[in-house]
Structure 1
């Protein structure tokens, strides 16, 4: 996706072939279940299925050109000698120019291997970056709880706290502070849910620097250098690349 893109809807936009657009995006949605590198781009273009324009189609074709340039890219699973569960969560505050909703995303790892990911626009408008990040954290905690239950059903039990890495100190502070503030009343249910898991020692929220935040590529379009750096850390490799 082009960095700092302004994809939206306007009255003077030039319409494109709606049926072709929907078919292409539909196929990309299925592909994004195994290609986390296109998750954000596909989530953006899928928001305009009802009235696509030429600019939206150009964004779709850009995704197709990227896929054609590296057909052998995919997740490589390796043995790391542990089954620790951890996640990275991030949110892009008011990133949508259409309705100013934030986009949140998360990556989850089991045993050092990427297993689930999601990029999705939030259902409500957040009034601050901390609120947007906190809503993203709640989605990440829910995913960690699901993975914890799944691993227990498979006979893999761990008493270690699951780490959820966040690059927003305000959101981490809200998670640890039981006192209700005005800026947290909009996420009161999430606040109690997260605090309960934190007090039980199930999850922990270490701070991670923005440049080390892997979930950044799920919330906005980043530079080519940052994008490929994240892919390396996520374990996404090209099997056809020369060794």
Structure 2
């Protein structure tokens, strides 16, 4: 989450310098409820000491209104398309969610 928050921070700064307006907060989806709760909870426990710095960074970006975290089920995680071996149905579902079309199976409409 910290790497994603850092990338979002960099991109928002780049867009601002280029004069491109973007709608804030940026939605950051995660398939781990535990990670979302750790970022949202200001109280740290013994088991979360190793993620202290990353957690503070993400929480700071949330408080600034730059990002908001949202849970997504593992089956709906678009990144799985590029990182995991999926069945045909799940592969097709995630491709369509990304907006990827197979032009070999579809006829194009309209005139040239």
TM over 0.5: yes
TM-score w.r.t. length of structure 2: 0.82
Q: Is the 8 A contact 2:78 2:94 kept in 1?
A: yes
2:77 to 202, 208, 213: 213
Higher relative contact order (CA 8 A, sep 6+): 2
CA separation in 1, counterparts of 2:86 and 2:104? 25
Q: Is the 8 A contact 2:81 2:95 kept in 1?
A: no
For structure 1, the residue ranges without an aligned partner over 5 or more in a row are 1-136
Partner of 1:164: 28
CA separation in 1, counterparts of 2:35 and 2:75? 18
Q: Is the 8 A contact 2:27 2:70 kept in 1?
A: yes
Partner of 2:49: 185
TM-score w.r.t. length of structure 1: 0.41
Partner of 2:88: 224
For structure 2, the residue ranges without an aligned partner over 5 or more in a row are 108-112
Aligned length: 107
Q: CA deviation at 1:147?
A: 1.8
Q: Secondary structure at the match of 1:214?
A: coil
Q: Is the 8 A contact 1:163 1:205 kept in 2?
A: yes
**What RMSD, in angstroms, separates the aligned Cα atoms of the two structures?**
1.7
Q: CA deviation at 1:200?
A: 0.9
> Larger % of helix: which?
2
Q: Secondary structure at the match of 1:164?
A: strand
Q: Secondary structure at the match of 2:71?
A: coil
> Larger % of strand: which?
1
CA separation in 2, counterparts of 1:196 and 1:214? 26
CA separation in 2, counterparts of 1:152 and 1:235? 27
Q: Is the 8 A contact 1:138 1:194 kept in 2?
A: yes
Do structure 1's residue 144 and structure 2's residue 8 form an aligned pair? Answer: yes
Runs of 4+ in 1 over 4 A off after TM superposition: none
Q: Once the two structures are superposed, what CA deviation does each residue of 1:63-117 show, in whole Å capped at 9, x if it has no partner?
A: xxxxxxxxxxxxxxxxxxxxxxxxxxxxxxxxxxxxxxxxxxxxxxxxxxxxxxx
